Chain A
Amino acid sequence: MLNETSQLLSDSVERIFSDHVTKECIINSEKGEWPKDLWDEIVNNGLNLVLVPEELGGVGGSWFDAGILFKAIGKYQAPIPLAENITAGHLLSMGSIQLPENSIVTILNGDFSIKDNKFSGISKRTPYGSSATHGVALITNKNSSKIILIPIPKGSISNDKNLALESRSTIDFHDVEILGSSEVEFSSDYIFKIGALMRSCQIAGGLEFLLEQSVQYANDRIQFGRPIAKFQAIQQELAVLATHAAASGVAADYACLSMEDGCEDLAIASAKSRVDDAVSICASIAHQVHGAIGFTYEHGLHFATRRLWSWRAEYGAGSYWAKFLGEKAVASGAKKFWPSITNGKI
């Protein structure tokens, strides 16, 4: 059962995405167009501020609430950096820095340095770097971490795209002026971990879409005189897709809830590893059920599957996080293995 805030967020995002994230919107975005109406609607409803506390002008939602939005991005294939903007809002709020007005904020990935209050370093595969106005970076020196707010256009931008044709830019910052900076208590891999959480949730949403589309298609498509859904072979395949989609939803929810308890390592690593396994199985079944039509650009199935194939590798592939978990498990030893599962801590 969702609480009132969660239900409200869920309803708003579903409404906005089903109105605005049309096939045309996704196709235009693949060509490099910025979906201004969609973004404005998101911002007008404050959905990008879900993790910003109310006293800083945000929604004051939980990570579970953020997860609802992350999943919706995957379910509708919304071509905007909403997940990144929500995370940036969280990071900046922890440093009591306000999100700039009319901004599109993304998160920066790389090793950065500060000298004389000027920011330098290369951010690789920056989500929506082609449209973002600002970037948030985490710089860690020995025992302290700093959250930094940077104007993106001050960097030298080289645009690239992932498999799903979402912008993933390389941005070279050289002695760029810092707009905001604050000490925070994050470990150096914090952004990478949150990135894995975002993508896990987005994948869970994408798998929900694959399930819905595949069930719909199987019920509509007639062969041998009846809907293919009536064939047991198809039913059994779709049941398998459903179980992995359900598991991915649970793995993502568990990771979000664990953020509230501050013991996120096990849950986030599990989520990314689990949903990666699910993508391989579910994308294969969804395409198989759709047959040749699902292999065309004209049909929209690939807007989801190409995203799933990209996202499963971003912020650590499943194998990266599986190794992370396995290393911790063998280092702690067999006696502590089960207690680590029940404590949710490794």
Chain B
Amino acid sequence: MNTPFNFHLTKFSNEAEILRSEVREFLIDALKDIPKETRAETWYGADENFSKKVGEKGWIGLNWPKEFGGAGRTSMERYVILEEMLTAGAPVGAHWISDRQSGPLIIRYGTEKHQKELLPGILKGESYFCIGMSEPDSGSDLAALRTKAEKKDNVYIVNGTKLWTSGAHRCQYMIACFRTSQEEDRHGGLSQFIVDLSLPGVTIRPIIDLAGRHHFNEVIFEDTEVPADMLIGTEGNGWNQVTAELALERSGPERYLSSYILLQELVNEFSSRNDDEGVTEIGRQMAHLTTLRQMSVSVAGMLDEGANPALEASVVKDLGAVFEQDLPNIAHRLMGLEPDANGSDFQRYLAILTQISPSFSLRGGTREILRGIIARGLGLR
């Protein structure tokens, strides 16, 4: 066999580097009043005013085609915006999902009506989407999902529960995967819908995470009548559509930059110390960061070429999660400080990231699922 991965490296264009300066300039002002805790949360942090400002700059939907209101620029240029925002700790969480995958899904599979009605709000940073995949009995095993959508006249009647739905409480819409029929092939009979979360019969309940934050939700559908024209794509083709969506979800800079702030803070702390062990560890993590970034950028380059880098995306996400999960432990080892939500800046960052780091290898595909995908790529299964 030959290596099944195809990471050829891509360089950023001059236009992308010019955009980088613009984003840095914009963030100096836009982040003035953002509290430290929010900065450590990166894309878990949400601020609607911030998202509107990003929309005004034209930086949402940057790589969408112009006919859909996007800027028609490249995935590489969009990548610059993402990595600059994440490393600066910008609260991008409100518009993150709709920019990354809901908008592109609507462009790819939506009807003209969906596109005309929904895309402008996303582009302005005013309309937010969440992802309705997981259910109480369907986590890694997505095909086990049971929430039913039964066609009756001009509506689908939906009954069931979505779980771990990030940000549902501040979103107007969910792109949900429901079971529209029972097929022999368990991947069959699934369909995607755009669900207006203000419809009667939709209840959103908070699930408080271990850090005491409200980020996840349980979304309950009880005889919810979803208009039939809100089915997106083809009935029964949900599995393929969702799989395509996951490739977009797995390779971005959010998959290795979640704990970036700790590395930067370590550089700050060790600038005034004479400590070879700390300095060497910082350098080692720099090497990991530099390499992950090249891998992740390479996937963005492949997306621009129209390739399908699903396997490479899994590699980036798995290595990225290990990296961003290691950093809180490394910061603990080098500094020996108590993670304290009321302590120094460093202690506050450490408090948040230590607690949220277990989610890094769960969200968007668990470590075991990703490694299973990689093993399949290697021809082992």
Contact = CB atoms under 8 A, between A and B. Distances in A.
| Size bracket, chain B contacts | 35 or more
Contacts of B11: 257
A242 B284 contact: no
B3 A245 contact: yes
Interface stretch (A37-45, A96-104, A119-127, A317-325): A317-325
Contacts of B381: 229-230, 235
A266 interface: yes
Interface stretch (A86-94, A305-313, A327-335): A327-335
Interface stretch (A166-174, A294-302, A337-345): A337-345
Given A250-B9, A277-B284, A322-B284, A234 B315 contact: no
Interface in A196-213: 208, 211-212
A250 B298 contact: yes
B318 A243 contact: yes
A338 B379 CA distance: 38
Contacts of B263: 337
B270 interface: yes
Q: Is the interface of B mostly helix, strand, loop or mixed?
A: helix
Most buried by B among A211, A257, A267, A322: A322
A324 B381 CA distance: 42
A156 B351 CA distance: 61
Contacts of A282: none
A277 B8 CA distance: 22
Contacts of B278: 326
Contacts of A286: none
Interface in A240-261: 240, 242-247, 249-251, 253-254, 257
A236 B267 contact: no
A148 B15 CA distance: 43
Chain A interface size band reads: 35 or more
B291 A251 contact: yes
Interface majority SS on A: helix, strand, loop or mixed?
helix
A329 B278 CA distance: 12
B138 to A, nearest CB: 20
B280 interface: yes
B375 interface: yes
Given A247-B319, A329-B282, A238 B378 contact: yes
A239 B5 CA distance: 12
Given A254-B290, A269-B287, A327-B283, A333 B271 contact: yes
B311 to A, nearest CB: 10
Contacts of B375: 235-236, 238-239
Contact of B287 (A1, A218, A219, A251): A251
Contact of B380 (A234, A250, A331): A234
23 contacts: A1-B8, A208-B3, A218-B380, A234-B380, A235-B371, A238-B378, A239-B370, A243-B315, A243-B318, A247-B295, A250-B291, A274-B290, A277-B287, A322-B287, A323-B283, A325-B287, A326-B278, A326-B280, A327-B283, A331-B271, A334-B267, A337-B267, A341-B289
Q: Which 5 A-B pairs have the closest CB atoms?
A: A326-B283, A325-B283, A322-B283, A239-B371, A235-B375
